[in-house]
Structure 1
Amino acid sequence: MSSEPLPGLPFLPGYSFRDLLVSLPGSPSPPSHRGSPKLGKTSFHRSQTLGYKNGFAFSRLPTVGIGGERLYANQLSEAELEELANHRPMLTYGPEKRAPPSDFIPAHVAFDKKILKFDAYFQEDVPLSTEEHYRVRQVGIYYYLEDDSMTVMEPAVKNSGLLQGKLLRRHRVPKNDQGEHYHWKDLNRGMNITFYGRTYRIVDCDPFTQEFLESQGIELNPPEKMPFDPYTETRKVPVRKYVTPSDFDQLKQFLIYDKQVLRFYATWDDTKNMFGENLPYIIHYYLADDTVEVREVHEKNDGRDPFPVLIKRQRLPKTLVDNKNTFPSCVLEISDQEVLEWYTAKDFAVGKSTNLLGRNFFIYDCDEFTRNFYRDKFGITDFQPVEIKKKPPEEVPQVIPPYNGFGFLEDSLQNCFSLFPKPPKKDIVKMLENAHKVLRYLVVLETPNPEDRKRRFILSYFLSTDMISIYEPRVRNSGIIGGKYLRKTRVAKPGSTADNVTYYGPSDFAIGATIEVFGHRFVIVGADEFVLKYMESNAERFPPATLQSLRDHFHQQQVVKEADSSAIPTLGTSRQDLDELIAQVQGELIHHKYLNNRDIWEAFLQCDKDGSGIMDKAKFFSLCENLSVPTSATLVNKLIELCSCGEDKIYYLDFLRAFPACDLHPEVATQDQQ
């Protein structure tokens, strides 16, 4: 952009100014002689001509000129510039051959990631320390060629106690008050440079920096040595200058025997004192530094506090000087001056006692590594371990008291095994398989009393729990209160003890067998048909004699029934006619509501002492009169005639069929429920 020269100056080369600015803010026209021009342009940056669109780089024309000056519309377009760039003058003998122009590369691309690195240091005063007066801190100065920015970095030193790292952030560092900034031309080796009041001494640079500056025609100064911090030098460990004696070397001992430990198994017998015990311990001897450690051995539920170490790892004195009694050992530690001899590996042996700090330890064994060490080092081969285990005390036999008769034997026995007795375990599978399965038997008392001989009992055996219950049916006017005779319980056989108890089972319930229940003897005289069916289906679980007795019993019952039925005179009528007559009699007796069928059955069964089913007619009519049975009725009288056995006998069982009730006849299977 051009402007007119100042008035009074010749329009000659070197006498014109192109950085005039006219104080016409907002004026779109180019500057003229009107107004007050002034010199001093300060902005010379160029606008960016590279851009990105949808992730792709492209070039664009600048919108403003150098320093942000406005470009006017009369400038050449891109097509015109391209035409001028490709235009070649025509010569007489043909066009001139020129090399193609080089591609334009911006500075930020050409100098991308190109950094000049200088090694420098600065001194920092330390006024509050008596050990140092100043401190030398080494830094690195980095110059970025792409944008002429600089930064100062101090490498971190471990345990320095200083805030290190970035001392000067990256930016263009001002050079003076005139607005100038440091340039790479201002940097060289062997010179001082000041950034914000802190002076750095540049001593050297890296090979890339040296090559770059020499390529630009800058003559580099010779490199200098980096000075060291005097306080850091004093903290360095000095090199050992003495010679280790050849007879004993602690470092050599540590390197050879490091992590090698002798292990001894010992006991401390303190049984002489009150509440004393014989406690086990483990003694460790460390070959690297001749130290000894004693550790306790704890067992499960030993009742001792969990302190694993009895004597911590230390050198133990074996022989002290004469003033050992007056030495204040509770205050001061024993040093080499008070000890004449320390414990070594020679002082430990299997089968011998060792006194450690006033306590005698008896060593009874050692591990395999210790045996190999003594065998190779001292030639000792006798490592026979000493048996120290005492014989366990004799077990006191547990005497179970005799059974007192209260409750089940299993329940009472639990009180002898635990303070809080637990119920005995039940066989759940057996209970599920045999649920609601009951074996019923008809039993009588074995007694010299003739009155008790007439009593009949129903014995029930529950297969799910192996329990027995006894029930006595009530007999009217018998003088005996019937009902539950024995509740559910397990009955032991005679001769059973608390240690060897045997209970009654289905195998013991044969016809004619005697069962003793708590001092009372019962004889089995009958059984339910279900008992025979159950034993036949599980014949392998029962003795053959028991099964055969049941078969004989039911076979004999069948023979007696057939014989009785054949002995009954029917007066030319069939059995079917008798059943029809019984049904008619039952229909007529419905109107006689005062009759108690159960009492009628019990009275007739009680009078039939031998159980034959035949009774005298005189006695029969006497019972009917006492029970108010209407024998004068036509149908009842006809039924009595059909049941008669001759002139003075009657088969009363068929007559009782006209009075339906729970069948209490000993030969019938249906029984009274509890």
Structure 2
Amino acid sequence: MSWYWNSHGLPFLPGNSFRDVTKCAFHRSQTLHYKNGFALPHRPGDEIGKDAHLSEQLLQQKINTLTLMTPDVRLEALYKMAPEEFVPAHVTLDKKVLRFYGYFQQDVLFSPDEVYRVRPVMIYYYLEDDSMLLFEPRVKNTGLLQGRLLKRQRVPHKERGDHYHYKDLNVDIDLDVYGVTFHITHCDEFTKEFMKSEGIILNDPRPMPVDPYTNGRKVPESCHITPSQFDQTHQFLTMDGKVLRFYALWDDAHRLYRETRTVIIHYYLADDTVEIREVHEQNSGRDPFPVVMCRQRLPKTLKPKPFPSCVLEVSEDEVDEYFSPTDFQVGQTMKLLSRSFLLYDFDGFTKEYFQTNHPEMEMKPIKVPKKVDIYHNRKRDVPPYNGFGSLEDSLQNCLYLIPKPPKKDVIKMLDNNLKELRYSATLNSKYPVDNSRRFILTYYLANDMISIFEKPGRNSGMIAGKFLEKMRIPKPGSTLENLDFYSPADFAIGAKVDVFGHRFVLTDADQYVLTYLESISNPLEIPSETLDSLRQKLGEGAAK
């Protein structure tokens, strides 16, 4: 067995290993290097910690031996300094960008407020590949599509035919980019230093022109006036949602046909505004627009004017006093916007408010004569059934101008889904040929509909199949005012069912019919005669 030996001549055993205290590098050498500006792979000659490979040590010994030899011929070219390493432009100018600021004017057509707009832009010039990018700063609530106007690319020069170079850019010049003229106003500090290093003298910066439309939208500062001692914020916080309600009669005396309408006056305590709404009545001949006056502050007295006004609006400076809650006295007639209103009643909250805040005011409702409407008190007769559609559909045509579908009992439909009562029936007719015809009458518990199916008979000469679609069948004598339909309580054995001029006689039933009728919680719904006839008939059939 051979032993491994370390640099000190001792066997490589625990306790005989020593660390080189002079060693200060423990990293692995780089495997890439640049040559003429291009990254190339390179095989390192050192191991971890810059320890030379064994092959490199032998090579170094050979180099040391050769250096001790004196060359016979000495050439000065061998001792010249190596040329500087070449670095390409895309490496030197990487991530170096020139930034200019400018604007362009956009014409606005068919607008009375503006003729043009001044839109600022930023021009980025990338020195790496001579490409340019145009960007417009985003401003909120402008309604314009802002952001990148031109993606990064080389922009062609309009006059020379080639592309723009940074030597063509300067301050206070026009830049034509695809038919749009941009005017450069100034640039940043890096651009100034770069242009100065390249020997380009920049022009003096120019201020950015003001956009007239944007400047006109600025809200002017409010003038300083003496603040009011009345705290409107406290009034809003304490009185929000509290409204006084008065019932009044509006007397339209200025109209050709004088009439009186019932209105409701709302007084909002939060901001002292008044609203008037008309009480809409059906078939009054008026459109359903109940707002007589929208919510606003009503002036009570105005300041005297030296000359007549040519506008309808009244500003706050022209008003001497506004209406307050104390001006609304029940039992008196008051004028609001030159219209007379007689206050005759109020609600409970209004009564409580006046008792708490204004106990000196006597608020008592007055009685007003009620209008007698002969048309509304007249009994409305329902026209007779015309035979089209069901009875419920015909009734809806009489109740509404736009018919609504009849309401359905959804819970009943869900509970009795797919539940059917089937009966056997014969046709009671004056013709002897109809006596041999057999029918199956099906009653659907979900929607109280009935369908009739004729059973095929051999050599009967009758077309068997569906005799009646699913529908609700009214009883004889049923009217639109008093609708009465057939139900399971009417289907006893031997009972006669009239179906639109045809009379059927029930002869038999399924066992499920008796089971279902006996399971009904309320026995009064089904007559005892119906149950007895079913028990007798089904009992005889079971015995047979």
TM-score computed with the length of structure 2 as normaliser: 0.40
Larger radius of gyration: 1
- Tell me which of the two structures has the higher relative contact order, counting C-alpha pairs closer than 8 angstroms and 6 or more residues apart: 2
